[in-house]
């Protein structure tokens, strides 16, 4: 099942969620509307809401709250992107200028805040304390992950464990929340809820691992962002951490200097080092292990086309090239 077939399975739910996103973006403040529409309509995959919709259907949920929570998840994700791009001084995402490049840093940060607060308004509409608990915790953990990443920047002594702590908080936590919410809505057992949360966590980890590998092995045209952005920002991601463990002294010195200073002056030499040390393959293998674990946790769901779709999304996460 390819990703288009996956989306077709819940096309009505996706349409309802998209309509809700547009409705809840409305503001009397013109700039909020302009910037909100710009980022929401910027060609993102909307993978997190898609996963929530698939899982809710796969677990037998029949109501409408999954549309609300899928929109909430997208708003939280979008808010993090707005803030991320300001912190990282990024100028390109998904093949177009970032919102901060178009509207300025101040507007991006403030509209990100607006999206967070709108998301919390929508959580309240669901009227379920567990939902509030899961999402408020997730939002807090994501913020912690962002700060942890900031602390790791330009630090070539960042360990693999610290790297995984960051991606678990910064990226995987929202995947985990999306999948856990589907089980809460469908009033599943604690065992099923834990399995769905675990699937989301492992998938989120795999997704970020592949992102970090693509920053050195991808193509700017396909990625929709500048290859080497992580290096330019001095981010010690797993490919670099692995290469420093296994490279020659001069290669290690090269990477350390790049992380400490940021910049891509010697990007080709660093890519060569990653190739020689098997750093990309190592990162991809970690992603494959995470996906295998995620897929195994889906045995806690009853067989259905929705479960097959969740398996397909997990496989898509490690096969993608953008």
Token duo for residue 172: 């995987």
Count other Cβ atoms within 10 Å, centred on residue 268.
Answer: 10
From CA 210, how far away is CA 220, in angstroms rounded? 15
| Single pTM value for the model | 0.94
Q: Where are the beta strands (DSSP E) in 15-84?
A: none
- Per cent of the chain over pLDDT 70 is 96
Please classify residue 110 by burial: count the beta carbons closer than 10 Å to its beta carbon, then call 0-12 exposed, 13-18 middle and 19+ buried: middle
The total number of structural domains in the chain stands at 1
Cα 156 to Cα 166, 184, 299: the distances in Å are 15, 41, 40
Mean pLDDT of 1-24: 94
Q: Which residue range is the domain that position 15 belongs to? A: 3-320
- Taking Cα atoms as reference points, which of 254, 273, 263 lies closest to residue 226? 263
Cα distances (Å, whole numbers) of residue 133 to 123, 140, 213, 318: 10, 11, 33, 31
State the chain's mean pLDDT as an integer: 92
**Where residue 287 sits, what CATH number does that domain have?**
1.10.600.10
Q: For residue 302, what is the DSSP state?
A: P
Paired with 97 in beta bridges are: 92
Q: Please compute the mean of the pLDDT values over residues 65-87 and round it to a whole number.
A: 93
What is the separation of C-alpha 156 from the centre of its chain, rounded to a whole number of angstroms? 24
Statement: residue 172 has pLDDT above 70: yes
Q: Each residue of 180-226: pLDDT tens digit?
A: 999 999 999 999 999 999 999 999 999 999 999 999 987 755 555 56
38 pLDDT exceeds 90?
no
Helix (H, G, I), strand (E, B) or coil at 228: coil
Lowest mean per-residue pLDDT among 37-41, 200-204, 252-256: 37-41
Cα 97 to Cα 48, 218, 234, 299, distances in angstroms: 22, 19, 21, 41
Least confident piece of the model among 172-176, 192-196, 229-233: 229-233
CA-based nearest residue to 200, from 63, 305, 49, 321: 49
């Amino acid at each position: 099942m390819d990703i288009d077939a996956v989306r077709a399975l819940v096309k009505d739910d996706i349409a309802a969620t998209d309509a809700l996103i547009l409705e809840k973006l409305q503001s009397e403040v013109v700039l909020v509307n302009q910037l909100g529409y710009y980022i929401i309509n910027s060609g993102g995959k909307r993978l997190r809401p898609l996963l929530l919709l698939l899982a809710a259907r796969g677990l037998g949920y029949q109501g409408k709250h999954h549309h609300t929570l899928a929109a909430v998840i997208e708003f939280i994700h979008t808010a993090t992107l707005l803030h991320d791009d300001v912190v990282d001084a990024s100028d390109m995402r998904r093949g177009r200028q970032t919102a901060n490049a178009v509207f300025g840093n101040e507007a991006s940060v403030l509209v990100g805040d607006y999206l967070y607060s709108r998301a919390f308004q929508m959580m309240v509409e669901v009227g379920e304390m567990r939902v509030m608990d899961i999402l408020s915790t997730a939002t807090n953990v994501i913020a912690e992950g962002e700060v942890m990443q900031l602390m790791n920047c330009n630090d070539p002594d960042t360990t693999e464990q610290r790297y995984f702590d960051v991606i678990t908080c910064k990226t995987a936590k929202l995947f985990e929340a999306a999948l856990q919410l589907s089980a809460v809505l469908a009033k599943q057992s604690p065992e099923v809820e834990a399995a769905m949360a675990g699937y989301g966590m492992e998938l989120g980890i795999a997704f970020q691992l592949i992102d970090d590998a693509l920053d050195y092995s991808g193509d700017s045209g396909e990625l929709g962002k500048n290859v080497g952005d992580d290096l330019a920002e001095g981010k010690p991601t797993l490919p670099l951490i692995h290469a420093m463990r296994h490279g020659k002294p001069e290669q290690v010195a090269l990477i350390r200097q790049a992380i400490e200073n940021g910049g891509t002056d010697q990007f080709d030499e660093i890519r060569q080092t990653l190739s020689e040390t098997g750093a990309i393959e190592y990162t991809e293998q970690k992603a494959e292990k995470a996906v295998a674990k995620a897929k195994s946790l889906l045995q806690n769901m009853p067989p259905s086309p929705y479960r097959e779709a969740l398996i397909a999304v997990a496989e898509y996460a490690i096969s993608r090239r953008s």
